[in-house]
Amino acid sequence: MKLAQRMSVLGTETAFEVFAKAKALEAQGKDIIHLHIGAPDFMTPANIVEAGRKALTDGWHKYTPAKGLPELRQAVVDDIALRRGAKVHPDRVLIVPGGKPTMFYAIMMFGEPGKEILYPNPGFPIYESLIHWSGAKAVPIELREAQGFAFRAEDVLRQITPNTSLLIVNTPANPTGGIIPRAEMDTLVKGLAAHPHVVVMCDEIYGRQLYDGEEHVSILQYPEMHDRAIMLDGWSKTYAMTGWRLGYGVWPSSLVAHAERLQINSTSCANAATQVAAIEALRGPQDEVDKMLRAFDERRRIIHKELNSIPGFSCNLPKGAFYAFPNTSRTGIPSRTLEHELLNEAGVACLSGTSFGKFGEGFMRFSYANSQDNIREGLRRVREHLARRAETAPSK
């Protein structure tokens, strides 16, 4: 067999690998605390499950239109009007199986040899992986702890060249919990007027997961961007539906037919019964979403306090999503080594900052999509491991 060359540059999402390793250790009888998880630990709200079950009983067994059910696309547009205060035509909405297909389609559409794509680093690892796969040059936007892991718009604008085809923004962000403040987004949008060749893909999948009254600034709130911004969102995080596989993209009118064509060439359409359940998710009661958010908020405060009590760790209070991203550089342990040791020796699954790009060195990602007890126990194990390590380390 001779694989296509491009397969050698495809990266991965280490979360799935750590998950597999943790499961293998558990199969050997080891007790593992899972703090690597990128999925809410709650069940999907019952009204949504019931809508999905009923959809199957009612006969939603066939293909839907490639772009998704018209009623769902209308529900998406209504939700965008309600929560983002932006007006979008349903024709621009493409329902896809998860959050990932929108980024896949966008990067395939704009990435090729000779092009440059700007992306956040540390950031969701699939951006960099797909950019490499497309043949484009991956140009990292370094997100710095001192700036709350938000970019400075001026720095981003300076990195744009005539070859830049796409700029990827993620707010609120995985893995840092950072958000892009309105002032930076304003400056970015204003500056982009001088670069009409640059398309923006804004990954807003954590847009409802914000704390302390922070506001979500959506790219769709800028009418001047509607002809060149792709907005990615989905049901995975907000409604605890990662296994249902459903998401959507809002595309510029000129791109939506291309996105639909990519969909027809790959997945045909999203799961029919899931789409029916997703209408209930958007139109039904939202109390379960609010309940999950309150639980995340409490855990966020606990994990922040616990992480800062570990010698060698320091951690910003995350503003969004459900991840804490402590600086661990003062331990002197490379992030990948720490990930390995914590899993194998301390029984704690978490992710090295470098799983999210080279600028993640010196950081670790801990997810707080787990119970308060497990968070406390996991971090107790981390503290104990580091203390044990310090005792046995040869003195300098």
Query: What residues make contact with ligand PLP under the rule CB under 6 A?
Result: 38, 98-100, 124, 170, 174, 203, 205, 234, 236, 242, 247
Shortest distance in whole angstroms from residue 325 CB to ligand PLP: 13
- How far is the CA of 94 from the CAs of 56, 60, 272, 364, in angstroms? 22, 19, 14, 34
Shortest distance in whole angstroms from residue 173 CB to ligand PLP: 7
Identity of the residue, 331 or 367, whose beta carbon is nearer to ligand PLP in the bound complex:
367
Identity of the residue, 99 or 362, whose beta carbon is nearer to ligand PLP in the bound complex:
99
- The DSSP call for residue 233 is E
Shortest distance in whole angstroms from residue 390 CB to ligand PLP: 34
Identity of the residue, 170 or 335, whose beta carbon is nearer to ligand PLP in the bound complex:
170
Assigned token pair, 258: 């291309």
Shortest distance in whole angstroms from residue 315 CB to ligand PLP: 19
At 201, give phi and psi (nearest 5°).
-110, 115
Identity of the residue, 13 or 341, whose beta carbon is nearer to ligand PLP in the bound complex:
13
Assigned token pair, 291: 């309940």
CB-nearest residue to ligand PLP: 99
Identity of the residue, 38 or 178, whose beta carbon is nearer to ligand PLP in the bound complex:
38
Assigned token pair, 149: 């892991």
Torsion of CA 34, 39, 41, 42, to 10 degrees: 180
Shortest distance in whole angstroms from residue 367 CB to ligand PLP: 10
Please name the residue that has the structure tokens 């999950």.
292
Is residue 321 left, alpha or beta, with left meaning phi > 0 and alpha meaning psi from -120 to 50?
left
Amino acid identity, position 92: R
Shortest distance in whole angstroms from residue 323 CB to ligand PLP: 9
- DSSP line for 94-146: EEESSSHHHHHHHHHHH--TT-EEEEEESS-HHHHHHHHHHTPEEEEEE--GG
Identity of the residue, 348 or 351, whose beta carbon is nearer to ligand PLP in the bound complex:
351
